[in-house]
Amino acid sequence: RAKVAVLISGRGSNMQALAAHAGAAYRIVVVASDKPEAPGLDWAVQAGLPTFALSPKGIGKQAYESALDAALRAAGAEWIALAGYMRLLSDEFVARWRGRIVNIHPSLLPKYKGLDTHARAIAAGDAEAGCSVHLVTEELDGGKVLGQARVPILPGDTPDALAARVLAEEHRLYPAVLADMVRR
């Protein structure tokens, strides 16, 4: 079973979906957060998962990332799954884990990299939106797409309503794509 580290910054609903589907393909060996106050960390503790919390504030990005790297390796992680992790990883960090970091992004990449994806899809008049699981490279939201799920954009949709529709698909897509990838 592949050993996966999950990185979060907030709520952690994708982390929960990944945890719910852990089993034959993978298991979560640590949940790490750059925000010690992230609600998802409390859930992880309750679920009995090892956690690591450290803010880069005050210590700088380099010190933060080397401590993070050390914690993930100490936990035995072989893969990293970003799940609402809202901080850019440095080129050096990405290089150390090349081909072993995946992310879920709330748009149909290559459309709408970055933030405010749902508002941008609605403003553009798109008929559909969705989410993508992709490999993480040095380019923001730019690595190879491993899987996508689509939802319709409905008349009168708000960004929040669309986000909720997409999020339900994220929770299905991410565990399936992760399991698929680590089996190869």
- Which residues would be at the binding site for ligand GAR (CB under 6 A)? 8, 10-14, 40, 83-84, 104-106, 131, 167, 170
We find the least distance from the C-beta atom of residue 156 to ligand GAR, in angstroms, to be 21
Q: Which one of 21, 105, 134, 171 is the catalytic residue?
A: 105
We find the least distance from the C-beta atom of residue 15 to ligand GAR, in angstroms, to be 6
What are the C-alpha distances in Å from 158 to residues 48, 78, 114, 163? 36, 39, 19, 8
Distance between CA atoms of 183 and 24, rounded to whole angstroms? Answer: 10
We find the least distance from the C-beta atom of residue 171 to ligand GAR, in angstroms, to be 8
- Residues annotated in the binding site for (6R)-10-formyltetrahydrofolate, as ranges? 61, 86-89, 103
Candidates 57, 82, 59; CA nearest to 4 is 82
Nearer to ligand GAR, 152 or 184 (CB): 152
Helices (H), the chain: 13-20, 39-46, 61-74, 91-96, 117-123, 159-183
> Which residue lies nearest ligand GAR, judged by its C-beta?
84
Nearer to ligand GAR, 68 or 103 (CB): 103
Candidates 82, 51, 81, 84; CA nearest to 182 is 81
Nearer to ligand GAR, 100 or 134 (CB): 134
Nearer to ligand GAR, 73 or 148 (CB): 148
The answer to whether residue 105 is catalytic is yes
Query: For the chain, how many residues are written?
Result: 184
We find the least distance from the C-beta atom of residue 148 to ligand GAR, in angstroms, to be 12
Candidates 16, 68, 28, 11; CA nearest to 179 is 28
Contact (CB, 8 A) for 39 and 11: yes
- Residues annotated in the binding site, as ranges? 12-14, 61, 86-89, 103
Active site residues: 105
